[in-house]
Amino acid sequence: MTLAFSTSSPLVSVALFDASHRLIGAHQLVSNGAASATLGKLINLLLSDNAVGLDGVLALAVDLGPGGFTGTRVGVTFAKTLAWSRSLGVFTATSFDLIDAEQTVAIASRKGEWYVREPGGWPHIVKSAEFPGETGYGRETSHTSYPEAARFDRLLPRLAQVDPLQVAPQYVAEPSISQPKKPYRETVP
């Protein structure tokens, strides 16, 4: 079985697939900034509902983003750690594909920009007050759709497993990490 999850948006979702990549079950919940706690609860619920133990999971599928910086890192780190510790393969997909692989998808950034990906194209940044896509999420839009782990069902047959240590978040823009205004003093014991 393959356990899939997405934590890059406000909606945390998990899904379980059989060996033929058919969806067995799925759960989702708005996390309100608590992606790690929500992910753990949803995985436990999903496995319990389907009478599957963690030993029954043979592969993982994870959303690489882009999306919320911390949420995306929660999913990627969880996938890498669990896969490495249990010798599992990992499938990866972008949040764009987990929203809709066939349409122009837009995801709002905190900088007032949009991350946009046209089908078959590379993500790029668009500075626009208007929603520049057919579907996606962020700011005021009537086209809201979040990445969902259950949508791995369309992708898994085309994906190849990757080495868990090579899995990394996908960023459209560089993370904006500021320097402290007052440098930290080094302390010597």
Helix (H) or strand (E) holding 41: helix 35-49
Dist CA 116 CA 121 (whole Å): 9
When pLDDT is cut at 50, 70 and 90, the band that residue 188 belongs to is low
**Residue for token digits 């389907």?**
50
Which amino acid, residue 129?
A
Reported as a single tens digit per residue, the pLDDT across 107-119 is 998 788 999 999 9
- In this prediction, residue 143 carries a pLDDT of 73
Q: Judge contact between 172 and 115, C-beta under 8 A.
A: yes
CATH of span 2-99+147-166: 3.30.420.40
Question: Residue 186 pLDDT more than 70?
Answer: no
Rounded CA Rg of the chain? 17
Reported as a single tens digit per residue, the pLDDT across 63-85 is 999 998 899 999 999 999 999 99
Model pTM score: 0.88
Q: Which of 87, 93, 98 is nearest to 163 (CA)?
A: 87
Domain boundaries, the chain: 2-99+147-166
